[in-house]
Amino acid sequence: MENWQKICKTPWRELKKMQDRKLRSFLINQIYPYSPYYRRLFDKHKLDPYKFQGVDDLVHIPFSYKEDVAPTNESPKKHRDFIIRPDEEISKKYGHLAKLSPYGGKQVVAEKVYEYKPVHMHFTTGRTAKATPFVYSLRDLENIREGGRRLFDVFALSKDDVMINAFPYAPHLAFWQAFFAADALGVTSLHSGGGKVMGTQNLIDAVEMLRGTVLAFIPGYAYYFLRQAAEQKKDYSSVRKLLFGGERVPPGLKDKIRATLQEMGAKNPMVLATYACTESRLAWGECPSESSFGYHIYPDLEIIELVDPETGERVAEGEEGEVVYTALDWRGTCMLRYRTGDVAKGGITYEPCPNCGRTVPRISANLQRKSEFKEFNLTKIKGTLVNLNNFFPLLMGHPQVLEWQVEIRKRNNDPFDLDEIYLYLAPAAGVNLEELKNELRQKISRDTEVSPNEIIVTSVDQILGRLGMETELKEKRILDSRPCK
């Protein structure tokens, strides 16, 4: 791992040379000898790791996908083949040394255990496969701590901050990245586990009592949480930054969050987002500014490519493309050329950041996360292929909408009948309901090419119950209730 303060100011040309060098070493010394999946892949496609010169040669490696690593009933342990695990090698190569020497041999074994033995795991979940574990060795935990330290450096946090970590307590990346980041920087923190663990009211009181300066939240829960706090006229004047993770953050939602914080006394609060996926093992931060300059990544720990979602060909700098992730300096579960399914509308740029001057690459913050709503993000409704992601910025950022949920059904609950769309809506006080409904119908039709069968106006509490706001890991914004055929 490189020195962050040095590499974040190093010209991209030099960083590219570093990546080439590290990739060659990683493929030769870790991936090919110790990754069962990629060793088979290399042999199948007659790829010689010693012939790889650098990042440009990654195009010769086939893409990896979620279905390659996700366990199934037929292959419940296939995720193990992505773990860097020289278990037998360690036993054969170093076991005799431990017997011969009570000191040197044991130290060698301890070093290998530190480097490779899985000691921590996160899970990614989906509707078409079992939960997939991604494991970390002790060495990897140093990486996630360092990634957290860099994340907070990008966010310009300090040891004087007081952070309220309200991410749900679970073996998922958001909570643990915040935990390890605070641990690495030495920030005073309350790792609450979110409303599901601590309770929303206790958490509302804690922010005021502890004079929290930094709040870390899932976006949908944050808006609900802050509305509750504002209704209680809480003093949140200490809050200066709110950090989001786990979901994309529409600009309209940022505006509503900022306005609610200001209502409680916060002066010029910044609302910032992170970008991550379980496969990336850590999170990247949005450069603090009123305008978004993208997510700063760590070129010594990963390689990011942007490819055409249809052809898989690399796109030019600044062009829209799907984010493809390659691990560079990790152990545990490692992916090469993993197709995230997330499309960066503004691509990736290698120019120095106009906001902070860092020279590391930046992924556009204008992301369309195909994984947002799991496997039914693109689905046929009424015969039209609909991108359900479009509901999120349209409704979450609307100033007259407090809470919402979209439900997809089959007429008469018959799997062979017509699709129906129902929008459950909790409007802000004092709005003209008919005008709001007409506006939403027009915008939904424009953005998704379908129109809701009915817009059902209901109370905030009823929608919160439908969403599972305090009972689910993530609220259920898009509910597909269609029976299977």
Domain ranges of the chain: 1-371, 374-480
Which tokens belong to 119? 């000691």
Residue 49 three-state SS = helix
pLDDT, tens only, 366-379? 887 654 433 334 45
140 CB-near residues (< 8 Å, 6+ apart): 120, 281, 330, 331, 332
What is the CA 344 to chain-centroid distance, rounded?
A: 13
Higher-confidence position of 113 and 281? 281
Amino acid at 440: L
| pLDDT at residue 67 is higher than 80 | yes
Instruction: Report the pLDDT value the prediction gives residue 73, as an integer from 0 to 100.
Output: 85
Residue 94 is predicted with a pLDDT of 47
DSSP 186-205: T-EEEE---HHHH-HHHHHH
The class that CATH gives domain 374-480 is: alpha beta
pLDDT at 107 over 80: no
Question: In angstroms, rounded to a whole number, what is the distance separating the alpha carbons of residues 403 and 409?
Answer: 20
77, with CB counted inside 10 A (0-12, 13-18, 19+), is exposed
d(CA 362, CA 264): 33
DSSP 289-342: SSS---EE--TTTEEEEEE-TTT--B--TTS-EEEEEEESS--SB--SSEEEEE
pLDDT band with cut points at 50, 70 and 90 for residue 269 = very high
Which residue is listed with tokens 């860092």?
Answer: 358
Share of the chain above pLDDT 90, in %: 62
The CA distance from 416 to 174, in Å, is 39
Return d(Cα 85, Cα 76) in angstroms, integer.
Answer: 18
* pLDDT reported for residue 87: 65
Which has the closest alpha carbon to 215: 188, 241, 180? 241
Contact between residue 314 and residue 305 where contact means Cβ atoms under 8 Å apart: yes
Residues 6+ apart with CB under 8 A from 226: 257, 260, 261, 264
Q: Token digits for 335?
A: 């992916």
Give the per-residue pLDDT at 479.
86
273 pLDDT band, cuts 50/70/90, is very high
Tell me the two tokens of residue 175.
């909570």
Least Cα distance to 362 among 306, 314, 281 occurs for 306
Q: What does the mean pLDDT of the chain come to?
A: 88
For 1-371, the fitting CATH number among 3.40.640.10, 3.40.190.10, 3.40.50.12780, 3.30.1180.20 is 3.40.50.12780
pTM attached to this predicted model:
0.81
Pair 22, 328: CB distance under 8 Å: yes
- The rounded percent of the chain whose pLDDT value lies above 70 is 89
Please, how many CA atoms are within 13 Å of residue 14, restricted to the half-sphere of its CB? 8
pLDDT of residue 92: 55
- 303 within 8 A of 326, measured Cβ to Cβ: yes
Q: How many CA atoms lie within 13 A of 380 on its CB side?
A: 4
